[in-house]
């Protein structure tokens, strides 16, 4: 099925434009990784940000461990990776949202007494100031979210929007 498909690669490193592809300037480092310091249960804060309170990385200070919000410091293409693991219990559905709109969703398990990990991974375009956070979408009586690196939330900037003139 291949054929006459493809764009012309750039001529050099300083900015000849690509047909149909916006090129990126040098990418600043923006990234965070946070986990949960104690297993969560009794999750009745539907709609409120789920706080990953143990911060392992926060380059660019986009992530706020008090609020659980990531605020995009620059506009660009971002990678979002979240894993939610249950802890001998049913697991809640946890979603990641951008300014309140769902980007991806986990579905760890609806069976009791089952451990399981479930991913919410997505590549998104964020504008400077956009907010990204996780929240519980639906829950069951015995919901638990496991600590100890079994539940993780990471975001990284892949490429930044910007002027292509030099």
Report the nearest approach of its own copies to the CB of residue 65 (Å): 15
- Judge whether 142 and 5 are in contact, CB under 8 Å: no
Report the alpha-carbon distance of residue 27 to residue 49 in Å, rounded: 28
| Phi, psi torsion values for 13, nearest 5 degrees | -90, -10
Which one of 36, 40, 51, 60 is in contact with its own copies (CB under 8 A)? 60
Report the alpha-carbon distance of residue 129 to residue 161 in Å, rounded: 14
Q: Report if residue 38 touches its own copies, rule: CB under 8 A.
A: no
Report the nearest approach of its own copies to the CB of residue 29 (Å): 5
Near its own copies in 118-147, by CB under 8 A: 118-125, 128-131, 146
Residue with tokens 């410091």: 73
Report the alpha-carbon distance of residue 32 to residue 69 in Å, rounded: 11
Report the nearest approach of its own copies to the CB of residue 8 (Å): 9
Q: Report if residue 89 touches its own copies, rule: CB under 8 A.
A: no
Report the nearest approach of its own copies to the CB of residue 140 (Å): 11
Q: Report if residue 15 touches its own copies, rule: CB under 8 A.
A: yes
């Amino acid at each position: 099925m291949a054929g006459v498909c493809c764009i012309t690669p750039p001529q050099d490193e300083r900015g000849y434009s690509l047909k149909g592809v916006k090129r990126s300037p040098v990418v600043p480092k923006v990234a965070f990784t946070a986990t949960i310091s104690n297993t969560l249960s009794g999750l009745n804060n539907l709609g409120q940000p789920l706080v990953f309170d143990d911060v392992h990385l926060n380059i660019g200070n986009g992530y706020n461990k008090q609020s659980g919000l990531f605020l995009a410091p620059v506009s660009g293409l971002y990678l979002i990776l979240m894993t939610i693991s249950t802890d001998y219990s049913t697991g809640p559905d946890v979603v990641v949202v951008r300014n309140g709109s769902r980007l991806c969703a986990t579905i760890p398990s609806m069976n009791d007494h089952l451990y399981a990990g479930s991913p919410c991974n997505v590549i998104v375009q964020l504008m400077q100031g956009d907010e990204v956070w996780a929240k519980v979408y639906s829950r069951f009586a015995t919901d638990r979210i496991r600590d100890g690196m079994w539940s993780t939330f990471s975001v990284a900037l892949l490429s930044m929007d910007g002027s292509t003139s030099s």
